[in-house]
Amino acid sequence: MEIRNSAKAIIIQNNKLLTIKKKDKDGYYYLLPGGGQEHGENLHETLKRECIEEINADVYIGDLLFIREYIGKNHEHAEFDANVHQTEYMFLCSLIENGKQIRNGIVPDEGQLGIEWLPLSNILSYRLYPQTMREYLIQYVKGKQLPVYLGDIN
C-alpha cells in the first residue's frame, strides 16, 4: 500500500474559510482546496495546480500551518477508506487575484458541488474535514501557538 501526499490550502478572508462543498448520504460536507501530489511535482506546484483546477484561482502560498496523516482504517469511514494512508500538508494561502470569481475550476473534485466560504465564528457547526482541525483553526485565528504535526486525525 502506498502513502499519498496531498497539499491543501487554508484561505481565510474576512473571517471566513474557503472550502469545497460536497454531499454524501449524510448531507453536505466541506474540504480544503487541494489534492494529491503528482510524480515530479513539489508541494507548492501541486497546490497551485489543484487550486486552479478546483477553485479557479491562483494562490500565494505562505507558511506550512499543519501536517496531518489520515490512516483510513483508524477512522469512521474505514468501511471504504481502510486502505487509504495520506499525509496532508496544509499551507496558509491567499488569493492572488482578489477580484477574480472563485468558483469550480477546470477540473473540480469528483462530486464537487461548488465552493463555500464558511464563517470561522461557527466553524464547529460544519462538517469540515478533517473535523479535528476545526478547533486548531479557531486557535490559530486567536493567535495561539500550535503544533504543526497534528497526527492521525480526521
pLDDT for 49-82, tens place per residue?
A: 999 999 999 999 999 999 999 888 877 777 777 7
The DSSP code sequence of 107-148 is SPPTT--EEEEEEGGGGGGS-EESTTHHHHHHHHHTT----S
pLDDT for 17-61, tens place per residue?
A: 999 999 999 999 999 999 999 999 999 999 999 999 999 999 999
Do 58 and 51 meet the contact criterion of CB atoms below 8 Å apart?
A: yes
Higher-pLDDT residue of 111, 97: 111
Counts of helices then strands in the chain (DSSP H, E)? 3, 9
Do 8 and 34 meet the contact criterion of CB atoms below 8 Å apart?
A: yes
pLDDT for 123-146, tens place per residue?
A: 999 999 999 999 999 999 999 999
Q: Is 73 in a helix, a strand, or coil?
A: helix
Non-local CB neighbours of 147 within 8 Å, separated by 6+ positions: none
Q: What is the pLDDT of residue 1?
A: 65
Which is nearest to 149 in space by CA: 43, 62, 66, 63? 66
Q: Is pTM, for the whole model, over 0.75?
A: yes
Q: Is the pLDDT of residue 12 over 70?
A: yes
How far apart are the C-alpha atoms of 115 and 104, rounded to whole Å?
7
